[in-house]
Amino acid sequence: MRQHGHENETRDGMDIAVCAINMKNKKIQYSGAYNPLFLIREKNNIPELIEIKADRMPVGFYYGKEKPFTYNEMQLEPNDIFYTFSDGFIDQFGGDNNKRFMSSNFKKLLLNIYDEPMQQQKETLEKTFNNWKKDYEQMDDILIMGIKV
């Protein structure tokens, strides 16, 4: 982003999750700038949401000590499903008390819908978001990507 912290220079950073999937060995590589990866895996027919945390720094200008992003690699198993997403859904104000949706509610929602077909998941996410947002203004962009192994 060509930012060096000089005066009068933009100081914007970018939040992002980057994944690479090797279909031959069924491995996923992930690094994140503020945006985590959620993996849902069934163990004994009970879904478990595993959060792979992102680094708490953006891509681009950052006031903290410069360091490399954490490299995560996981072995995927049949029927795993993982999600990457922007913070727009989680940070949206709404509900009865005009509060943020929050990560905990998003995790519960994903655990409730992970075994549905992807199109149905999309429709449920859209409906839930619109019901939550009500007449409040949308705060940010929203991107949710789910991939089933």
The helix/strand/coil state of 120 is: helix
Q: What is the pLDDT of residues 86-129, one digit of tens each?
A: 999 999 999 999 999 999 999 999 999 999 999 999 999 999 99
Q: What is the pLDDT of residues 17-72, one digit of tens each?
A: 999 999 999 999 999 999 999 999 999 999 999 999 998 887 776 566 677 888 99
pLDDT given at position 1: 46
Q: How far is CA 110 from the centre of its chain?
A: 11
The residue among 11, 9, 29, 27 whose CA lies nearest residue 19 is 29
Amino acid at the residue 136: Y
pLDDT given at position 56: 87
**DSSP assignments along 97-134, one per residue:** TTEE--HHHHHHHHHHHTTS-HHHHHHHHHHHHHHHHT
Domain ranges of the chain: 13-148
The CA-atom distances, in angstroms, between 34 and each of 86, 133, 149 are 9, 23, 24
Q: pTM of this prediction?
A: 0.86
> Tokens standing for 79?
């029927």
Assign domain 13-148 to a CATH class.
Answer: alpha beta
Q: What CA–CA distance (Å, rounded) separates 123 from 65?
A: 42
Are 38 and 50 in contact, with CB atoms under 8 Å apart? yes
